[in-house]
Structure 1
Amino acid sequence: MKRAGVLGSPIAHSLSPALHRAAYSALGLDWTYDSYDVTEAELPAFVGELDGDWAGLSLTMPLKSAVIPLLDEVDEVAGLIMSVNTVLPFGDGWRGTNTDVFGIVRSLTARLTEAPRHATVLGAGATARSAIAALAELDVREVLIVARRPEAAADLVRLAGSFGLTGHAESFEPSRELLARDIVISTLPGSVAEPWAALAREAQGTLLDASYHPWPTPM
């Protein structure tokens, strides 16, 4: 029986087991999928014990960057944004990829009615890095990075530049102006997003909330 699972810390809130088990059942796969509370310090030992029984791993915070040095190969986009959320068998080793970018692009494309040019990203973690890559695929020209830590926002501005986007770091002060964009992507945890929620409801653009816990989220 093949095994798979999602790693992170904390992990109890993850819906990945329910989603994957339902998919395996629909596909007739006799696979298991479980959640594992794994910290950055524990990750090397966990990856080192992977064997042929494993079909792959999903990764969430805080492991999306920490896993990269432990892998045999990382695909181009995941390497550029330094964020891996999926690990798959690769020859005798393991390969990292990122499905967040694809998911963000598909989700936004389903809602957009015209070509977007200006965007705002709330947050500066691993999911925000995926959001930058997704915005580049959508031919967005300019992105505002709103984060609590100025150094993290500056890092994302540099990342945006590497994808050909003009990036600007903004202070973490909720305002209508920062949300008056073609696209707003929130990667904020629910409680942190609360001050932005009322303003977001007034915005005319397309909002994507990457958080799903607690549900419904403030956004």
Structure 2
Amino acid sequence: MRCAVLGDPIAHSLSPVLHRAGYVAVGLDWSYDAVQVRSGDLAGFVDGLGGPEGGWRGLSVTAPLKREALARADVVSARAELVGSANTLLLTGQQVHADNTDLPGAVAAVRERYDGTIRHATILGGGATAAATGLAMVDLGASTVLVAVRRPERAREAAERIAAHPSGPRVDVVGLDDASDDTDAIVSTIPVSAQTERLAAACAGVPLMFDVVYDPWPTPLSAVGSVVVSGLDLLVHQAALQFTAFTGLAAPLAEMRAAGEAALRERVS
């Protein structure tokens, strides 16, 4: 069977490394590739694969295609509907099933490293990943969420998605300069280029810093926070959930993580 990760750009993705390592660990003779698919082209690409009859089983989806993936699906999971985007497409027969493993992957990544209470959370950025990780913070106990962005009008959908969580959290949108360590957890979904010295100083001292970036690493924001959760932590846990969805087998988490860590070390050597 064939699987792949789709996005634009995509050459940097570690997903092939993780999934291939998983296949080797469980003895599956499957393939997993990185395929560049531009914005607006996802539906046509998926329709051309032929599903399982064409040898295709699953697709991981990254920026800028996560909302397109949701729109293409025939069946949508409750959490993908809640997030408003999909990072996982499962091809079964004539149907395409959409899911979002970023949300539960973020929960698992945090709980692997941090057992503290999260009542107040701050999300830096306002895109699809901000919505997923913001909802994850609410799953972890946050009753108030602050979405901090450079252009508040662009965070409206993410804020509305987080506020739609069944627990009914309070969600406010502010400028990025208003972010501070006066919170239980900060999740950064912004690129390294936006992680200024001023922002890092404002966030210093936060109990939990969760930076979804994994390359380059470390980042300016990874230097602050009593406990740090990395983008690789998130990538591994969401990929493990995808692996199980695609194969029906328990994911070999340790082997997948080790492969990702080795690949990142090789990139900086």
Alignment map for 1:2-41 (pairs within 5 Å): 2-41=1-40
Shift of 1:174: 5.8
Which residues of structure 1 form unaligned runs of 5+? none
Corresponding residue number in structure 2 for 1:79? 81
Choose between structure 1 and 2 for higher RCO, CA contacts under 8 A separated by at least 6 residues.
2
Corresponding residue number in structure 1 for 2:200? 197
CA offsets 1:92-114 (integer angstroms, 9 cap, x no match): 21101011111111111223333
What one-letter code is carried by the residue in structure 2 that aligns with 1:159? R
- Does residue 183 of the first structure (1) align with residue 185 of the second (2)? yes
- What is the root-mean-square deviation of aligned Cα atoms in Å? 1.5
* Preserved contact between residue 191 and residue 218 of structure 1 (Cα < 8 Å): no
Shift of 1:89: 2.2
CA offsets 1:24-64 (integer angstroms, 9 cap, x no match): 11011101111011112221210111221112000000000
- Does residue 89 of the first structure (1) align with residue 91 of the second (2)? yes
Following the alignment from structure 2 to structure 1, what is the Cα–Cα distance between the partners of residues 67 and 99?
11
Shift of 1:155: 2.7
> Aligned with 2:134: secondary structure?
helix
Corresponding residue number in structure 2 for 1:138? 140
TM-score by length of 2: 0.76
Q: Which moved more, 1:149-158 or 1:69-78?
A: 149-158
Question: How many pairs does the alignment contain?
Answer: 215
Corresponding residue number in structure 1 for 2:257? none
Following the alignment from structure 1 to structure 2, what is the Cα–Cα distance between the partners of residues 70 and 155?
19
* Preserved contact between residue 58 and residue 89 of structure 2 (Cα < 8 Å): yes
- Whichever structure has more helix as a proportion of its residues is 2
Shift of 1:16: 0.6
> Aligned with 2:219: secondary structure?
coil
Shift of 1:70: 1.2
Following the alignment from structure 1 to structure 2, what is the Cα–Cα distance between the partners of residues 77 and 110?
21
- Does residue 167 of the first structure (1) align with residue 166 of the second (2)? no
Following the alignment from structure 1 to structure 2, what is the Cα–Cα distance between the partners of residues 140 and 152?
22
Among 101, 108, 129, the residue aligned to 2:131: 129
Q: Which moved more, 1:157-166 or 1:123-132?
A: 157-166
TM-score by length of 1: 0.92
What one-letter code is carried by the residue in structure 2 that aligns with 1:43? L
Q: 1:214 to 1:174 in 2, by over 3 A?
A: farther
Following the alignment from structure 1 to structure 2, what is the Cα–Cα distance between the partners of residues 174 and 35?
37
What one-letter code is carried by the residue in structure 2 that aligns with 1:109? R
